[in-house]
Amino acid sequence: MYTVEEIKTNRKVWTDALRSGRFKQGMMKLCMKGLDDEYHYCCLGVACEVAGEFGISLVKNEHNADYMSYNGALTTLPTHVRMSLGLSVSDLSELIRKNDLGASFAKIADYIDSLPITKDE
pLDDT in tens, 75-99: 999 999 999 999 999 999 999 999 9
The verdict on residue 42 lying in a domain is: yes
**CB–CB of 109/19 below 8 Å?**
yes
The verdict on residue 119 lying in a domain is: no
The verdict on residue 121 lying in a domain is: no
Phi first, then psi, for residue 90 (nearest 5°) are -70, -30
The verdict on residue 118 lying in a domain is: no
Neighbouring CB atoms inside 10 A of 53's CB total: 13
**Hey, which residues does 41 pair with through a beta bridge?**
25, 31
For 103, the domain range is 4-113
**Hey, which residues does 60 pair with through a beta bridge?**
70
Is pLDDT of 119 > 90? no
Q: What is the pLDDT at residue 121? A: 55
- Residues 82 and 67: their CA atoms lie apart, in Å, by 21
Q: What is the pLDDT at residue 73? A: 94
